[in-house]
Each structure stands twice: as structure tokens, then as C-alpha cells.
Structure 1
Amino acid sequence: MWPFSGCGKDACAAPPRPITFTTILALVPFVAVFAAASTLAARHIYPRLSTTHNDRDGEDHVLPSHAPAALRQVHAEHGAKSMQRRAAIMTFGATVGFAATLAALILAEILEIVDARAGELTHEVTVPTLLFLLVIMVPWLECRSLVSATGQSFQRSAKGKLPRGAWGLQLMLFGGWLFVFWSLGSVVPNAPSGGKAKARGAELDTYRERITRACLERIGVVGISLMALLAGFASVSSPWHTFSDAAARRKRPITDGDVNRKQAGLEAANEMLLTKRHMLQMLEQKASEPSQGGAKSGFVGKMMGSIRGGSGDAAEMRNLRIEIAALETMENNLASNLSILKDQRNAAVRASTRMGQLFLIPSYVFSFYCVYRILATGLTTLQRSFSPSSSSFSSTDPINRFLGVLAKHWDPKLDQIAWARTISFLLSGVMLLLSANSVVQTLHLFSRWTPQFLHRHAQASLALAAGQVAATYVISSALLLRSHLPGQVSSVVGGALARGGPLMSPSFADSWFEGWFLVGGMVTATAIWIGRSVSGASDNDLGDDYGMDDMGAKRA
């Protein structure tokens, strides 16, 4: 018996239904969703997420900030031709496209507006491809970006040999990711696999279905963990910046002169960095060229060279590398400060009008809700540690209960508490979107004392990470819907993912999400406090970084 055949031990499965013209027409909406989502992600979202990485083209060619538009266009076209950038764009677009297609498929099957054969074909293409992207392709590119951020190069040497160090580190990181990913299956209680699935009546016919089910189970755990961490991060960032920015505006208003001076300082730092890089490139090119007098130098010349401890060019290159590293750190700090200043200046301008003050009310309400959610989740987690039968936060939160009542009013047969639990997870994504500005400011604060290679890796992998989070969020939401919806609808949602029983219990999803939510909130609060303490609360936004503000004032 072939491992991927549809035959069992006793009989073969029924042949698949033929593809008719009606099936092809039913597939058109899903193809359109994939094409629209992937095109939007690749052409519009990816360039916005990778703007900080656009000054490099993959070949160590750096573009200055004051370069003309024509040169920037040529530079961007040259950088878009690199294989690594093409792979990242295609992977990001495909991940977002297949995630949107899976969401459309689940919604269509719940509403019962999709052709059965078209749904099967969409499932057979979407789910395996999305799993391959999330488990293999995206982590592989992220590991490659991390290795490149450490200074390793994947280009062949002059003799045509592969860089063993870079590829060895790449394989080690990717192997570690696969080990951690597969080990996540052990944290899910009563995870059905193999014999357990059969005991539950979930007959998994092929090895492919078992692998798909195992990957979905682990992606569900990763998705819930990521969304919980990001929701905790957003729940702390939003009230912190809402209240601290208001206090800072009252203490010292930010003027356009402050922004212009910081902008000029950043441009001065960029020019210094470009000059140092150009000098280093010239020296490295000079050192790589064979010396004309090298053949004439004998034993005496080599001995004198060893006594001098190396040429002056080698020492100068070492000094230039140290200066470039310091200037890169300075540039990142100045860019972070400039972004924060611009945001605070825009907020101050909006707050100076009555309409702007009116629009500030929802942000304060949202910030108070974030504080309430953190405190309530901590209290329910503490109660659950003493009494495992106590209710979760999702069943007591007033917003979740209100939306659950609306869902029950729409269909009295639905479980109100179960829907409140699902809505609680869906609201975590809404919280992350509503607090996007505060999250960006917090990331700028963290970037000041983040190691340089991690900062470069975050810049290069931001788009891939965003697509990965979006796809895992869709799969995790579908798994929670499968656990909470009535039997008929639950089987429909399960058919869009994998066959078999539920992949995780609702109680495990609640405790796992709330635990990581608190971890994300506590880590964010600690990091903000450390960042403010290290940088100085008064110098974070308006301070003179490395004396570049004075230089910027002279340039302005």
C-alpha cells in the first residue's frame, strides 16, 4: 500500500468527485481573495514594513538620505533584484494571501455558501502550503536574516567555496527551531495523535493527515502564545504612552525647531557614517589587490612586517570598523528619537484643537480598559492557581459578555460563555491594532539599548514576522471557533483545517493565553522601566544624543 494513497487495509476510498464548470466558478472567489491579498501585501505592505532596510541593496551599497529621487529609484530597482529580497517578498505575499484565503474558506463554510468540491480543492491547496510556509520557509528566511545580521556572508569565496561558518550557523538555528516547534506538542493536554485519535473516532487515513494535524496543533499553540504576548505588550504600551505623553506635553511642549534640529543631527550622522564606510571599502579593496612589491619581499621584509605588527592600513581598518559600529548605534538612537519627537509633535498639534481633544477621549478609554484587563487577568489567574474550577477572565469581562449576549441573541443555541472566550481572543488582535502607535514608540525605546545585530535582524525580518503572526492568528482563531461552535458548524470549521477531534480544550486555551498575556505585560513593563532608567526619563525625547543636536543646529 502506498503511503499517500487513499486505500485502507480492507477497502479503497471512493474516487474524488469530478471537477465541473460549476466547481471552477466556485473557485474564482478564493483565487480572487488570494490574488488581491498577496498583491496588496507584496506591493504595498512589504515596502512600508521594510522602509528602514531600503538604504541597502544587498551588496553593501548604501544610499545617503539626501540622494535624489532618480538615484533612489535606480537603487531600489537594483535592490529588488537580489534573490534574498525576492524570496522575502514572495514568501510574505504568499503567507498573507493563503491566510486570507483560509479565513474566507472558513467563513464561507460556516455560512454554507461554498460548493463542496470547491471547498475541498481550496483546502487541499491552502492548508498544506500555509503549513509549509509557516514551519519551513518563513523560519528559514528569518534564520538567514539573523545570521546575516551577525556579519556572516553567504556569498562564495574567491576560490568558489561555500562559507561553512554561515551555513553551519544557519542549519543549527533552523534545526533548533524545528526541535522547539515539535516539542510544543507535549504542552497540549490530551493531544490526540495516532491511537488517541482513533479512540476518539477520528480516523486519520494517511500519514499526510497525521502530519497536518500535528503541525496545526503546534501552530495553534504558537499562535495563542504570540497573540497573548503581543496583547500584553500592547496593553502596557498604550496606557504608558497615553498618560506619560500627556504629562510630557504639559511639562515642555515640543516645537518644530526641536524636530528640525534632530533631523539635521540625523543627517549629519548619516553623512559621517557614509564617509567612514566609503573609506573602509576603499581600504578593503586596496588590501585585496596583490601587492606589486610582494614578490620582491623576502625573509627580511616579512620579519620587519611582523615586528611592526601589521601594516598601517590594517590598523586603520580596525579603527574604522569600531567607529562604524558606534556610528550605527548613534544613527539608530537618533532615528528613534526623531520618530518619537514627530509623533509627540503631531499629538501636541492635534491636542491643541477642540476636535483633537474630543478624539483623545477614546484613547483614554482604551488605556483604562487595558489597565483593567491586566488587573482582572492577574486576579483570575491567581484565583485559578488556588481553585482550578474558577472562571476565566473571558467569561467575566463585561465587553466579552456583552458581545456573547449579542451572539446568543442571534442564535439562542449558541453557548454564551464559549463565544465570550472566542471573542476575548479576537479582541487581542483588535487591541494590537488600536495601540499600533504606542507599540511603535515602545519598540523605538527598546531599540536604543538593543544590540546592533538584533536591531538589523528586526528591521530585515519585520515583514516576515508580521505575515507569520497574521497567519498563525487566523489558524488559532479557527481552532478556537472549532472548539466552541455547535457540533454541525464545528465539524464544518474542522473540515477546513483537519479531520479528527478537537486539537485543544477550551480550558487549556484560556489558561495558556492568560499566562502568556501576563508574561508579555510584565516583561514590557520591566523593559520600559529599565529603558527609562538607563536613558534617563528627561533625556529620552529631547536630550542631546552624542552631541549631534549641536551639529544639527549648525547645519540647520
Structure 2
Amino acid sequence: MSFLIDSSIMITSQILFFGFGWLFFMRQLFKDYEVRQYVVQVIFSVTFAFSCTMFELIIFEILGVLNSSSRYFHWKMNLCVILLILVFMVPFYIGYFIVSNIRLLHKQRLLFSCLLWLTFMYFFWKLGDPFPILSPKHGILSIEQLISRVGVIGVTLMALLSGFGAVNCPYTYMSYFLRNVTDTDILALERRLLQTMDMIISKKKRMAMTRRTMFQKGEVHNKPSGFWGMIKSVTTSAPGSEKLLSSFCHMKASQKSAVCNPEERLHQTLNLPVP
């Protein structure tokens, strides 16, 4: 009785997953899908339903829902159905579509589809021979042979797709996070750059004028006239010395701001980091 209840729960969940997969295929995945191939929709929906059911069984195993024998039975059944779809139905149907698009092989498309599927099975089986996960206890038609090949090949393909997605996704969506630089922004930065250059040039001119004034005043006041002039220059300060000192300090400040750090001013104007 408990097995029937557990089976009804699993069948109900599979029907719900199948309906969700069908709607997702029709409304989102291929909403502009003009060629109506219902077999493709059924295969996608069945694969989606059984994949979600296996994930559901893992959750039930953790939470202790359903009977253990029921979980094992449905796990084994879902695994067999998914392997049947992945190894037999999907490759055969892909080969059938390839042959159907060739006019010369249109009449014998079923035969050539079987030949393509047998070719796929040969390479699929030979590809799994070097895998060290096979045990001699299992026969050639055991489920472990298929699981090992599907698992290793599937994980390899998923790793390749994940690596491609990890590089392609930031490259594709990076433009959404970049600032859109307009012509107005460029003109504003150029204007600020010219203002900074004018400020530097004006400070350099002021420095040159201050240096010239100091040189001229220094020549007048530093000429001693005789013995009494020398004594006077020692005992008293020359008139205008405070002005000279103030001009000297002003020149040093201008030199520090305009000559020593012109690159820093330019970087601040352009909003760039100072090296």
C-alpha cells in the first residue's frame, strides 16, 4: 500500500515537471520555433521531468520522505529512462533529422539514420575503454557501462561549457557596468585641463616676476657704502627685507605647487590615479 502511495506521488510530480518543461519549451526556450516538431518537445519535456525527479529523489533521501525501497525503485527506473533517452533516442533522432535534410537520402532516411546511430555508438563505446572506473564484474550490457561513459563525457563537456561561459558572460555583459562617456564629458575634461595648464603657467610667471624683484632689490640693498655702511648693514636690517622674505616664501610656495607637482594637478583634473 505504501508503494502505491509513493508511486502516485512520484507520478504526480513527474506529470507536473513534464507540464512545466512543455510550457518552458513553448513560451521561453523556443517561443519563435516555427517548425513544429512535437517529438522534439516530448523528448525535451520527458528529459526535463525525469531529471527533476532524480533531483527530487535526492531531496527525499536527505529528508527521509517515502519508503527506502520505493526510492530505490524509482531511482533505478528514472536512471534507466534517462540513459535510454540520452544514448539511444536523442542520437538517433539527431541522425534522422540530418538524413531527412539530404534530398538524395530522403527515401532511405531510416536506414541511414540507423547507420549514423551505429557509428555514434561505436565511437561512444570506444571512447570509454580507457576509463579506469569500469570493473570486470560488470557485463558489457550492464547499466554501469553506460553510466560511466555518460558521466565522464558529460562532466568533461560541462567543464568546457562552464569555462566558456565564465569568459563569455563577463565579456558580453561588461558594457552594462561601464560608464557611458559622452562628448560633453570629453569637452568638460578638456576645459578643466586647459584651466589647470593656465594656472600652472600663471604661477610660473609669478615665480619669475618674484625672482626678478628679489634680484633687483637685493642688488640695491646689498651694496655697502664705506665703513659706516658695513656697520649699518650688520646692526640694522635693510629696508624692505620683510617684503623680500615674504616674496621669497611666496615664490617657494608657488614653486612647490606649480613646478614640483604639475603631474599631480593634471591627474586630479582628469580624475586619474596619481602614479
Alignment TM-score, normalising by the size of structure 1 = 0.30
What are the residue-to-residue correspondences of 1:337-376 with 2, within 5 Å?
none
Matched, 1:27 2:27: no
Partner of residue 134, structure 2: 192
Q: Is the 8 A contact 1:102 1:126 kept in 2?
A: yes
Where does structure 2 lack aligned partners over 5 or more consecutive residues? Answer: 184-275
Q: Is the 8 A contact 1:24 1:118 kept in 2?
A: no
Which of 116, 140, 157 pairs up with 1:173? 116
Cα shift at 1:150: 4.9
What are the residue-to-residue correspondences of 1:87-126 with 2, within 5 Å?
87-126=39-78
Pair 250,36 (structure 1): closer, same or farther in 2 beyond 3 Å = farther
Q: Is the 8 A contact 2:60 2:66 kept in 1?
A: yes
| C-alpha distance in structure 2 between counterparts of 1:248 and 1:136, whole Å | 51
> What amino acid is aligned across from residue 89 of structure 2 in structure 1?
M
Partner of residue 228, structure 1: 159
Q: Is the 8 A contact 1:30 1:104 kept in 2?
A: no
Which of 172, 189, 201 pairs up with 1:241? 172
| C-alpha distance in structure 2 between counterparts of 1:50 and 1:150, whole Å | 24
The Cα offsets for residues 134-172 of structure 1, whole Å up to 9 and x where unpaired, read as: 110111112222334455674xxxxxxxx13x3454233
Partner of residue 422, structure 1: none
> What amino acid is aligned across from residue 17 of structure 2 in structure 1?
A
Cα RMSD between the aligned structures?
2.8
The Cα offsets for residues 72-125 of structure 1, whole Å up to 9 and x where unpaired, read as: xxxxxxx4xxxxx22222211111111111121222223333302312331342
Which of 83, 95, 112 pairs up with 1:143? 95
Partner of 2:142, secondary structure, is helix
| C-alpha distance in structure 1 between counterparts of 2:73 and 2:180, whole Å | 57
Q: Is the 8 A contact 2:134 2:148 kept in 1?
A: no
What are the residue-to-residue correspondences of 1:125-524 with 2, within 5 Å?
125-150=77-102, 154=106, 163-164=107-108, 166-189=109-132, 191-195=133-137, 211-244=142-175, 250=181
Pair 230,150 (structure 1): closer, same or farther in 2 beyond 3 Å = farther
Cα shift at 1:247: 6.0
Pair 147,247 (structure 1): closer, same or farther in 2 beyond 3 Å = farther
| C-alpha distance in structure 1 between counterparts of 2:40 and 2:171, whole Å | 34
Task: Indicate the percent of aligned positions where both proteins have the same amino acid.
Answer: 21
Pair 87,51 (structure 1): closer, same or farther in 2 beyond 3 Å = same
Q: Is the 8 A contact 1:38 1:96 kept in 2?
A: yes
Pair 169,104 (structure 1): closer, same or farther in 2 beyond 3 Å = same
Cα shift at 1:249: 5.5
Q: Is the 8 A contact 2:25 2:31 kept in 1?
A: no
| C-alpha distance in structure 1 between counterparts of 2:73 and 2:22, whole Å | 25
Pair 103,151 (structure 1): closer, same or farther in 2 beyond 3 Å = farther
Partner of 2:155, secondary structure, is helix
Higher RCO (Cα < 8 Å, 6 or more apart): 1
Report runs of 4+ in structure 1 exceeding 6 Å deviation: none
Q: Is the 8 A contact 2:25 2:41 kept in 1?
A: no
Cα shift at 1:52: 3.9
| C-alpha distance in structure 2 between counterparts of 1:114 and 1:149, whole Å | 48
Cα shift at 1:35: 0.9
Where does structure 1 lack aligned partners over 5 or more consecutive residues? Answer: 1-20, 57-78, 80-84, 155-162, 196-203, 253-556
Partner of residue 324, structure 1: none
Q: What number of residue pairs does the alignment pair up? A: 183
> What amino acid is aligned across from residue 178 of structure 1 in structure 2?
M
Larger-gyration structure (1/2): 2
Pair 174,145 (structure 1): closer, same or farther in 2 beyond 3 Å = same
Q: Is the 8 A contact 1:193 1:214 kept in 2?
A: no
> What amino acid is aligned across from residue 34 of structure 1 in structure 2?
Q
Pair 237,94 (structure 1): closer, same or farther in 2 beyond 3 Å = same
| C-alpha distance in structure 2 between counterparts of 1:243 and 1:250, whole Å | 15
Alignment TM-score, normalising by the size of structure 2 = 0.57
Which stretch of structure 1 is more off in the superposition, 119-128 or 134-143?
A: 119-128
Cα shift at 1:132: 0.5
Q: Is the 8 A contact 1:42 1:89 kept in 2?
A: yes
Cα shift at 1:219: 0.9
Q: Is the 8 A contact 2:105 2:112 kept in 1?
A: no
| C-alpha distance in structure 1 between counterparts of 2:147 and 2:80, whole Å | 10
Partner of 1:51, secondary structure, is coil
| C-alpha distance in structure 1 between counterparts of 2:135 and 2:72, whole Å | 23
Pair 112,147 (structure 1): closer, same or farther in 2 beyond 3 Å = same
> What amino acid is aligned across from residue 172 of structure 1 in structure 2?
L
Pair 233,249 (structure 1): closer, same or farther in 2 beyond 3 Å = farther
The Cα offsets for residues 203-251 of structure 1, whole Å up to 9 and x where unpaired, read as: x6xx59x521111111101220221121012111112113356669657
Cα shift at 1:50: 2.8
| C-alpha distance in structure 1 between counterparts of 2:104 and 2:44, whole Å | 24
